[in-house]
Amino acid sequence: MKFILLFILFISTLNATKISDVSSIVGVRENQLIGYSLVVGLKKTGDGTTSKFTLQSISNMLKAMNIDMRPIDIKSKNVAAVVITATMKPFARQGDKFDVTVSSIGDAKSLEGGTLLMTPLKGVDGKIYALAQGAVSIGGLNSKGAGSESHPTAGIVFNGGIIEREINIDLFHQKYATLSLKESGFENAVNVQKAINNYYHTQVAVAMDSRSIKLKCPKNRSMVEFLAEVQNLDMNYQPKDEIVINERTGTIVAGVDIELRPVVLTHGDITIKIVEQKKVSKPAGSMSVDKNLVIGLNENEVYTKKGTTTVANLVRSLQKLGASPKDIISILEAMKSAGSISAELKVI
């Protein structure tokens, strides 16, 4: 497995960032839509006779056009049953267009060249909010070899959706609004409160908990103007230390300043010792990685100094020992369980 190591610099001190980057406005959100329909015009790459629901759907469509045809009599392979998914943006208005994604649910080989029939798109409440129709674009066909092509069973209808029902969000007449932090944290919630109140020189923001900040619109501004100003304000933001591990690809993403606490860990023939000492001792047969890190090649040991050892240089030293990505991930997980790593470990 190819090992990829990425180090992203996260400064441990407070960082200035815009409030809009770390929070969202409660109630202002996207909405998911879904629908079921048929894609027609395929070149014998549609659903076969084993997809009974496709034949029934064709029969129902023909009946709506005053053509009575039993499903058992339909032999067409130019039609595919599909599910349509889309996202309705906040404040979307009637007539606005958007892209929709079309995915086959039968045994169709490809949706290339097909046309999506008019489809009602519903929300979680079962109401119709949009319609979708148009030519399906699959794009990005890649040859697998001479005379052989991939057969995509999903595609996009660009601007194929059109809004029919609006979701009313009346911000203009509201006097109060609530910000929700994307990552929970009492310190950041208080920092948002301070940044807003310092800007307006009055108490217009109150941190309700580690994630919610309640806002009161000043008398000389509309809510839209107020929120626009608030979102553009800078605040002192403390990012949360996090190590992201992709077990499938062996990718590790970590801040270079995430320190390790003293620990002794053995994994296979690798022993890791993190001890509190003024300088790193050099056992016989060892080599230096840097002034704070020594690898004992004879014993496959890593000697490090407390307060200067980070996840970044530990992983670098493990690589020099020839540790596999799987070994490194296992070591990090074990060190997290032992309390040597305080940052959150996120495995994807």
Paired with 156 in beta bridges are: 101, 137
- Give the CA angle between residues 237, 243, 244 to the nearest 5°: 110
pLDDT at 266 over 50: yes
Rg (CA), the chain: 29
Return the pLDDT at 178. Answer: 96
Work out the burial of residue 17: count CB atoms within 10 Å of its CB; fewer than 13 is exposed, 13-18 middle, 19 or more buried: middle
Residues 139 and 196 in one domain: no
| Cβ 215 vs Cβ 224: under 8 Å | no
> What is the number of domains present in the chain?
3
| Closest-CA residue to 175 (of 212, 224, 209) | 224
Residues 61 and 123 in one domain: yes
H or E element, residue 330:
helix 325-338
> Given 217, 237, 257, which residue is the final one in a domain?
237
Higher per-residue confidence, 316 vs 82: 82
pLDDT at 50 over 60: yes
Work out the burial of residue 333: count CB atoms within 10 Å of its CB; fewer than 13 is exposed, 13-18 middle, 19 or more buried: middle
Most confident of 1-5, 76-80, 174-178, 341-345: 174-178
Confidence of residue 281 (pLDDT cuts 50, 70, 90): low
pLDDT at 5 over 60: no
Return the pLDDT at 324. Answer: 81
Q: Which of 10-19, 76-85, 170-179 has the lowest mean pLDDT?
A: 10-19
| Cβ 158 vs Cβ 137: under 8 Å | yes
- Is residue 22 situated within a structural domain? no
Residues 47 and 157 in one domain: yes
| Closest-CA residue to 236 (of 266, 208, 196, 265) | 196
Higher per-residue confidence, 176 vs 260: 176
| Cβ 190 vs Cβ 150: under 8 Å | no
- Give the CA angle between residues 346, 243, 347 to the nearest 5°: 25
pLDDT at 292 over 50: no
The Cα–Cα gap between 192 and 19 comes to 7
Confidence of residue 15 (pLDDT cuts 50, 70, 90): low
pLDDT at 239 over 60: yes
Residues 219 and 272 in one domain: no
For 138-178, give the DSSP string: -----EEETTEE----EEEEEEEEEE-S------TT-SEEE
Residues 231 and 246 in one domain: no
User: pLDDT by residue (tens digit) across 17-30?
Assistant: 899 999 999 999 99
Domain that holds residue 182: 170-237
- Is residue 101 situated within a structural domain? yes
The Cα–Cα gap between 59 and 266 comes to 66
3-class SS string, 69-104: CCHHHCCCCCCEEEEEEEEECCCCCCCCEEEEEEEE
Residues 133 and 178 in one domain: no
- Is residue 11 situated within a structural domain? no
Identify the CATH number of the domain in which residue 180 sits.
3.30.1370
Residues 205 and 85 in one domain: no
Please give the order of strands across the beta sheet that includes 5-8.
5-8, 251-255, 242-246, 344-347
Tokens of 201: 């020189």
For 55-72, give the DSSP string: HHHHHHHHHHTT----GG
Return the pLDDT at 162. Answer: 97
Residues 181 and 276 in one domain: no
pLDDT at 147 over 50: no
Number of H helices, E strands in the chain: 6, 23
Residues 46 and 137 in one domain: yes
Residues 35 and 158 in one domain: yes
Residue type at 115 in one-letter notation? T
Paired with 39 in beta bridges are: 80, 116
Residues 129 and 37 in one domain: yes
> Given 190, 220, 237, which residue is the final one in a domain?
237
The Cα–Cα gap between 304 and 310 comes to 9
Work out the burial of residue 253: count CB atoms within 10 Å of its CB; fewer than 13 is exposed, 13-18 middle, 19 or more buried: middle
Tokens of 295: 């690898």
Residues 42 and 157 in one domain: yes
User: pLDDT by residue (tens digit) across 76-126?
Assistant: 889 999 999 999 999 999 999 999 999 999 999 999 999 999 999 999 999
The Cα–Cα gap between 297 and 287 comes to 7
Confidence of residue 303 (pLDDT cuts 50, 70, 90): low
